[in-house]
Structure 1
Amino acid sequence: MLPPAPAPRRASSRRGLLAAVSATVVAAPALSGCFASSATSGSAGGGDKRIRVAMMQPPRSGLSPLSDDAFKLSRWSTAETLVRLDADGDARPMLATKWRQNGRTWTFDLREGVTFHDGTKLTSADVVRSLQRAAGAAPKPRILDGVEMDVAADGAHTVRITTDDVDPLVPQRLSSPQLSILAAKAYGKKAVNPAGAGTGPFVLTESGGTSYATLDQYEDYWGGRAKAGGIDVKYIPDGTARAAALRSGEADIVEAIPVAQASLLDENQITEVPMPRTNTLYLNAESGPFRKAGLRAAAREAIDARSIVKGVYEGRADVAKGLLGPALPWADTLRAEVTGRARAADPDGAQITIGTFTDRAELPEVAAVLQQQLQKAGFTVKLEIREYANIEADALEGKFDAFILSRATILDSGDPAAYLYSDFASDGSFNIARLADAGVDTALDKASGTPAGDKRRHGIIDAEAAVLKTDAAIPLLHERVIQGDATNVVGSVKDPRERELIGLDTYVK
Structure 2
Amino acid sequence: MRLPARLLPAAALIPTAALLTGCFASSGSGQASADGDGSGKRIRVAMMLPPRSGLSPLSDDAFKLSRWSTAETLVTLDEDGDAEPALATEWKQSGKTWTFTIRDGVTFHDGTKLTAQSVVRSLTVAATASPKPRILDGVELTVKAEGDTVAVTTGTEDPLVPQRLSSPQLSILSAKAYKGKTVNPVGAGTGAFELTQINGTASATLDRYDGYWGGKAKAPGIDVKFVPDGTARAAALRSGEADVVEAVPVSQAALIDQDLITEVPMPRTNTLYLNTEKGVFKDAALRAAAREAIDAKTIVKGVYEGRADVAEGLLGPALPWAADLRDGTVQRAKAGDPDGTAITIGTFTDRAELPEVAQTLQQQLQKAGFKVKLDVREYANIESDALAGEFDAFILSRATVLDSGDPAAYLYSDFGSDGSFNIAQLADTAVDKALKKAADTKAGDARRQAVIEAEAAVLATDAAVPMLHERVIQGDAAGVVDVAHDPRERELITIDTYVK
Normalising by structure 1, we get a TM-score of: 0.92
Structure 2 distance, partners of 1:45, 1:224, is: 18
Matched residue type, 2:160: L
Between the aligned partners of 1:163 and 1:325, the Cα distance in structure 2 is 31
> 2:455 aligns to what?
464
Amino acid at match of 2:260: Q
What is the alpha-carbon distance in structure 1 between the residues aligned to residue 329 and residue 462 of structure 2? 10
1:309 is matched with: 300
- How many angstroms does 1:46 deviate by? 4.0
Q: Which residue of 2 aligns with 1:77?
A: 69
Question: Structure 1 counterpart of 2:189, which letter?
Answer: G
Q: 1:469 and 1:56, CA in 2 relative to 1: closer, same or farther beyond 3 A?
A: same
Q: After superposition, what is the alpha-carbon deviation per residue over 1:479-503, rounded to whole angstroms, capped at 9, x for unaligned?
A: 0000000000000000000011000
Aligned equivalents of 2:347, 2:182: Cα separation in 1: 37
Match of 2:30 in 1: 43
Map residues 163-312 of structure 1 onto 2, 5 A cutoff.
163-312=154-303
Q: CA RMSD in A?
A: 1.2
The answer to whether the 8 Å contact 2:330/2:459 transfers is no
Superposition map of 1:310-389 within 5 A: 310-389=301-380
Structure 2 residue aligned with 1:27: none
Structure 1 distance, partners of 2:22, 2:323, is 44
Query: Deviations for 1:242-278, whole angstroms, at most 9, x for unmatched residues?
Result: 0000001100000000001000001110000000000
Aligned residue for 2:12?
A: none
Which residue pairs with 2:98 in the alignment? Answer: 106
Contact 2:33 2:41 in 1 (8 A): no
| Secondary structure of 1:495 counterpart | coil
* Counterpart amino acid of residue 247 in structure 2: A
SS in 1 for 2:397: strand
Equivalent position SS for 2:306: coil
Say if 1:260 and 1:59 are closer, same or farther in 2 by CA, change over 3 A: same
User: Which aligned pairs between 1:391-406 and structure 2 lie closer than 5 A?
Assistant: 391-406=382-397
Query: Where does residue 423 of structure 1 map in the other structure?
Result: 414
Q: Which of 101, 117, 131 is equivalent to 1:139?
A: 131
1:154 corresponds, among 131, 146, 163, to 146
Unaligned runs of 5+ in 2: 1-18, 35-39
What secondary structure is seen at the aligned counterpart in 1 of 2:76?
A: strand
> Residue 15 of structure 2 corresponds to which residue in structure 1?
none
SS at match of 2:216: coil
Q: The residue matched to 1:385 in structure 2 has which SS?
A: strand
Deviations 1:95-123 (A, max 9, x none): 00000000100000011000000001100
What SS is found at the alignment partner of 1:482? strand
Per-residue Cα deviation, 1:356-412 (whole angstroms, up to 9, x for no partner): 000000000000000000000000100000000000000000000000000011141
CA contact (8 A) 2:402 2:409 kept: no
Count of residue pairs the alignment pairs up: 477
CA change 1:338–1:34 in 2 (3 A) is farther
**2-side partners of 1:205 and 1:494: how far apart?**
25
One-letter identity of the residue aligned with 2:378:
E
User: Which residue is 1:22 aligned to?
Assistant: none
Q: Is the 8 A contact 1:246 1:252 kept in 2?
A: yes
Amino acid at match of 1:379: F
CA distance in 1, matches of 2:324, 2:361: 29
Long gaps (5+) in structure 1: 1-30
Distance in 1 of aligned mates of 2:22 and 2:327: 51
- For normalisation by structure 2, the TM-score amounts to 0.94
Q: Partner of 1:437 in structure 2?
A: 428
Aligned mates of 2:176, 2:331 — CA distance in 1? 59
Which residue identity does 1:315 align to in structure 2? Answer: G
**Match in the other structure for 2:478:** 487
Give, in whole Å, the separation in 1 of the partners of 2:454 and 2:303.
Answer: 30
Code of the residue aligned with 1:445 in structure 2: it is: K
Q: Matches of residues 6-17 of structure 1 in structure 2 within 5 Å?
A: none
* Matched letter for residue 34 of structure 1: G
% identical aligned pairs: 74
Following the alignment from structure 1 to structure 2, what is the Cα–Cα distance between the partners of residues 323 and 276? 10
Q: Aligned with 1:152: secondary structure?
A: strand
Tell me, yes or no, if the aligned pair for 1:38 and 1:51 is still in contact at 8 Å. Answer: no
The reply on whether 1:115 has 2:102 as its aligned counterpart is no
Q: Deviations over 1:74-106 (max 9, x none)?
A: 000000000000000000000000000001000
**In structure 1, which of residues 63, 67, 70 is the aligned counterpart of residue 59 of structure 2?**
67
The question of whether the paired residues in 2 share the 8 Å contact of 1:64 and 1:193 is answered with: yes
Q: Name the CA shift for 1:141/1:69 in 2 (closer, same or farther; >3 Å).
A: same
Alpha-carbon contact 1:338-1:469 (below 8 Å) kept: no
- Cα gap change, 1:214/1:189 in structure 2, threshold over 3 Å: closer, same or farther? closer
Q: Is the Cα contact below 8 Å between 2:271 and 2:468 reproduced in 1?
A: yes
The one of 48, 66, 81 equivalent to 1:89 is: 81
Whether the 8 Å contact between 2:20 and 2:236 is mirrored in structure 1 is: no
Letter in 1 for 2:218: K
Letter in 1 for 2:257: D
Task: Provide, for residues 405-460 of structure 1, a one-character-per-residue CA deviation record: whole Å limited to 9, x for no partner.
Answer: 00011141100000000000000000000000000000000000000000000000
1:13 alignment partner in structure 2 = none
In 1, Cα distance between the equivalents of 2:457 and 2:158? 24
1:284 offset after TM fit, Å? 0.2
Q: Report the CA distance between 1:336 and its aligned residue.
A: 1.7
Large movers: runs of 4+ above 6 Å: none
Alpha-carbon distance, 1:44 to partner? 4.7
Aligned-partner SS, 2:214:
coil
Deviation at 1:337, TM superposition (A): 1.2
Distance, in Å, in 2 between the alignment partners of 1:34 and 1:443 is: 55
Q: Aligned letter for 2:82?
A: D
- 1:38: Cα distance to partner? 5.8
